[in-house]
Amino acid sequence: MIQQTSGFDAINGTIVSISDDNEQAFVSYTYKGTDYSNILLRSYSSAWKMGQSLALFINPADPSNPIAAEEQTVFPFVLMGLGGFLILLWIGAFLTNFINARTWWPLSRPEYRGQARLVKTEGLSRKGFFRLYFDKDGTAYRSQSVLGDQTLIDTLLKTHTIDCPVYLSPKGRFKPDLPALDAQLETLKKADHLGNSYGSTPISPSSGLNANDDGSGHNGPFGF
């Protein structure tokens, strides 16, 4: 459902990719029957997570340039008299995102640790960035966007079964142990005598995941 406020339409979109290092967030949404995918927001919040629903404002004259409801540039519209609906919408979105972020609750807890099988990669529009897809007990999960040698990983997947340490909370929050996976990929790379022709780092440490990140994977299925 589309709500119109002072010439802007209020809709909900989904965060499909986040780069913490570059402070960038990409969203996908449907507006008046047209799908918009991997659209870069001009704002960024460290509390946002991939897969999260996000309130957006769409200019009908420029629907491919969405404005996040949490963005400070929304406030001038409020001051111009957007009315109670917009204020309540912003407050609701802020509280929902704050609660869902749960930044005080580390995901990398021993009781959440297990194994998942790396099954494929998916290239993204940004050069060098891609996602990792995993299977755990028949359910599909995916990582945040990571930076590294996608060609090397695809090559290793053709000849090796790669099981990776991961963290999965009871609420379905998922995060692969990227340092452990990177070390495993390096070992397989050396065993296959691939040398440096595929690059020196399967997964870059600058991928944005750290010990207290709650991850960005969500239970699927994602359609392997």
Residue pLDDT, tens place only, 54-94? 999 999 999 999 998 875 444 454 455 556 667 777 787 76
Calculate mean pLDDT across residues 6-19.
Answer: 87
Render pLDDT for 18-46 as a digit per residue (tens, 0 to 9): 887 778 899 999 999 999 999 999 888 88
pLDDT for position 5: 56
pTM over 0.75: no
Domain boundaries, the chain: 3-101, 110-207
Render pLDDT for 100-147 as a digit per residue (tens, 0 to 9): 555 445 577 889 999 999 999 999 888 888 999 999 999 999 988 888
Q: Is the pLDDT of residue 150 over 70?
A: yes
Return the DSSP state at 27.
E
Q: CA 104, 182, 24 angle in degrees (round to 5)?
A: 50
Percent of the chain with pLDDT over 90: 38
Q: By three-state DSSP, how is residue 87 classified?
A: helix
Calculate mean pLDDT across residues 170-199.
Answer: 83
Q: Is the pLDDT of residue 157 over 90?
A: yes
**DSSP-assigned letters across all residues of 31-100:** ETTEEEEEEEPS---TT--TT-EEEEEEETTEEEEEEETTSGGGHHHHHTT--HHHHHHHHHHHHHHHHH
Choose the most confident range, by mean pLDDT, from 6-10, 65-69, 90-94, 157-161: 157-161
pLDDT for position 19: 82
Q: Could you give the angle at which helices 150-159 and 178-191 cross, rounded to 10 degrees?
A: 70
Please state, rounded to an integer, the average pLDDT across all residues of the chain: 78
Secondary-structure class of domain 110-207 per CATH: mainly beta
Specify the CATH architecture of the domain 3-101.
Beta Barrel (2.40)
pLDDT for position 162: 96
